[in-house]
């Protein structure tokens, strides 16, 4: 290591303006955690930080996903895999982040919960954009948020474009695999419905991997990602159960029951369904 002394004065003048705090806007970031409890409840800061950190990760997931869509549109499977690898790692972190809330006891949460009503993660614009971008275009949310112009507009814009899954299916077809035309949609406003012809095409690729390993790897990475999202949902549900039990949510839903009803959602249905078609019937 050099024994040269660290002398800030020796920096070039133009670098003096930019530093860690100014580049990352740390003062602005640290001014955004504003508790509502009066007097301030110690644990509310923890609650706010977890939600804000998660929203930052949702932002990054959406950012990466636009790259994933481009890679799939270009049919560059290796680049799609690279992006998915990062998104899988982020989803793993998001799931672990939910577990931090195990350190919030029901009594601690009850100490400030009433102040945040009717705010709820249910209203997270980015979470809904995330679901819609991958293909879960549940019209229920368009109706539910019909009075929320920001949410409605952002979801409607996404619905004009193919989902990640639509782009994936098209790219499989363009690569020469026997994807039926019925799996290629021309309008994207509805939730995608599984297609048995697509399932057969995916099955054939799985069963003769020699020339298709890059696609097999992509299917498995997509499944890994879908699984991480499902695990996030399940971890969030369990955390909710141990924090508020069967109480209604601050967003007005039935709470536990509502979250249970969302557990079965998957972004890439045929990649799951095809498992039952492989091997013997038992
Ligand atoms: C003590 C902590 C938490 C509790 C008790 C809780 C509770 C709930 C409940 C009951 C719902 C159902 C909607 C409602 O009626 O409110 C919900 C939905 C949701 N929460 Fe949480 N939550 C907590 C923390 C978090 C965190 C840290 C996030 C991260 C952003 C989050 C994100 C979401 C999302 C995205 C939904 C919508 C899920 C869907 O529609 O499938 N929640 N939460």
* CATH code where residue 209 lies: 1.20.58.480
Ligand 1 centroid–CA 266 distance in Å is 18
Q: How far apart are CA 100 and CA 37, in angstroms?
A: 21
Q: Would 158 be classed as within a structural domain? A: no
Ligand 1 centroid–CA 216 distance in Å is 34
Q: Would 157 be classed as within a structural domain? A: no
Q: How far apart are CA 58 and CA 93, in angstroms?
A: 11
Q: Would 86 be classed as within a structural domain? A: yes
pLDDT tens for 250-277 read 998 999 999 999 999 999 999 999 999 9
Q: Helix and strand tally (H, E) in the chain?
A: 15, 0
Confidence of residue 9 (pLDDT cuts 50, 70, 90): low
- The residue whose CA is least distant from atom 40 of ligand 1 is 122
Q: Would 70 be classed as within a structural domain? A: yes
Q: How many domains does the chain have?
A: 1
What pLDDT score was predicted for residue 4? Answer: 66
Among 46, 61, 120, 255, name the best residue to mutate to test ligand 1's pocket (greatest count of ligand atoms within 8 A of Cβ): 120
Q: Would 211 be classed as within a structural domain? A: yes
pLDDT at 44 over 90: yes
Q: How far apart are CA 135 and CA 84, in angstroms?
A: 16
Contact 246, 172 (CB under 8 A): no
Angle at 234 between CA 193 and CA 191, to 5 degrees: 15
Q: How far apart are CA 274 and CA 19, in angstroms?
A: 52
pLDDT at 2 over 60: no
Range scoring the smallest mean pLDDT among 38-42, 44-48, 208-212: 208-212
More confident residue, 13 or 211: 211
Ligand 1 centroid–CA 239 distance in Å is 9
- The residue whose CA is least distant from atom 3 of ligand 1 is 240
Nearest CA among 197, 133, 89, 194 for reference residue 81:
89
What is the secondary structure of 221-259 as a DSSP string?
HHHHHHHHHHHHHHHHHHHHHHHHTTPPPTTSS-THHHH
Q: Would 216 be classed as within a structural domain? A: yes
**Domain hosting residue 58, numbered range:** 41-112+164-277
pTM of the model: 0.94
Closest ligand 1 atom to Cα of 247: 10
pLDDT tens for 167-186 read 999 999 999 999 999 999 99
Q: Would 206 be classed as within a structural domain? A: yes
pLDDT at 13 over 70: no
Question: What percent of the chain shows pLDDT beyond 70?
Answer: 94
Q: Would 78 be classed as within a structural domain? A: yes
Confidence of residue 14 (pLDDT cuts 50, 70, 90): low
pLDDT tens for 110-158 read 999 999 999 999 999 999 999 999 999 998 999 999 999 999 999 999 9
| Residues within 6 Å of ligand 1 by CB | 50-51, 54, 101, 104, 109, 120-122, 124, 127, 236, 240, 243-244, 249-253, 255, 258-259, 262
Cα 157 to Cα 89, 126, 135, 245, distances in angstroms: 28, 13, 13, 36
262-266: Cβ within 8 A, 24+ apart: 262/233, 263/230, 263/233, 263/234, 263/237, 265/131, 265/136, 265/230, 265/233, 266/226, 266/230
What pLDDT score was predicted for residue 32? Answer: 98
Q: How many CB atoms lie within 10 A of CB 47?
A: 20
What pLDDT score was predicted for residue 119? Answer: 93
pLDDT tens for 189-212 read 988 899 999 999 999 999 998 889
What pLDDT score was predicted for residue 191? Answer: 86
């Amino acid at each position: 290591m050099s024994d040269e002394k660290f002398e800030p004065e020796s920096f070039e003048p133009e670098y003096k303006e930019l530093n860690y705090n100014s580049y990352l806007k740390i003062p602005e970031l640290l001014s955004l955690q504003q508790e509502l409890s009066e007097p301030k409840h110690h644990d509310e800061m923890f609650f706010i930080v977890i939600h804000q950190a998660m929203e930052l990760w949702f932002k990054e997931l959406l950012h990466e996903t636009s790259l994933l869509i481009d890679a799939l549109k270009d049919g560059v499977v290796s680049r799609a895999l690279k992006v998915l690898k990062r998104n899988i790692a982020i989803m793993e972190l998001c799931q672990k982040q939910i577990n931090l809330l195990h350190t919030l006891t029901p009594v601690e949460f009850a100490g400030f919960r009433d102040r945040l009503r009717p705010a709820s993660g249910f209203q997270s614009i980015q979470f809904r954009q995330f679901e819609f971008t991958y293909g879960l275009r549940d019209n229920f949310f368009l109706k539910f948020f019909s009075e929320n112009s920001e949410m409605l507009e952002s979801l409607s814009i996404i619905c004009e474009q193919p989902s990640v899954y639509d782009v994936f299916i098209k790219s499989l077809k363009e690569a020469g695999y026997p994807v039926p035309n019925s799996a290629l949609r021309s309008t994207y406003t509805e939730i995608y419905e599984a297609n048995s012809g697509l399932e057969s095409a995916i099955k054939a690729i799985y069963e003769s991997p020699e020339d298709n390993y890059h696609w097999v790897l992509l299917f498995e990475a997509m499944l890994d990602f879908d699984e991480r999202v499902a695990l996030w949902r399940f971890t969030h549900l369990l955390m909710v159960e141990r924090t508020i039990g069967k109480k209604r949510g601050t967003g007005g839903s039935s709470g536990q029951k509502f979250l249970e009803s969302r557990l079965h959602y998957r972004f890439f249905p045929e990649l799951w369904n095809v498992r039952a078609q492989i091997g013997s019937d038992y």
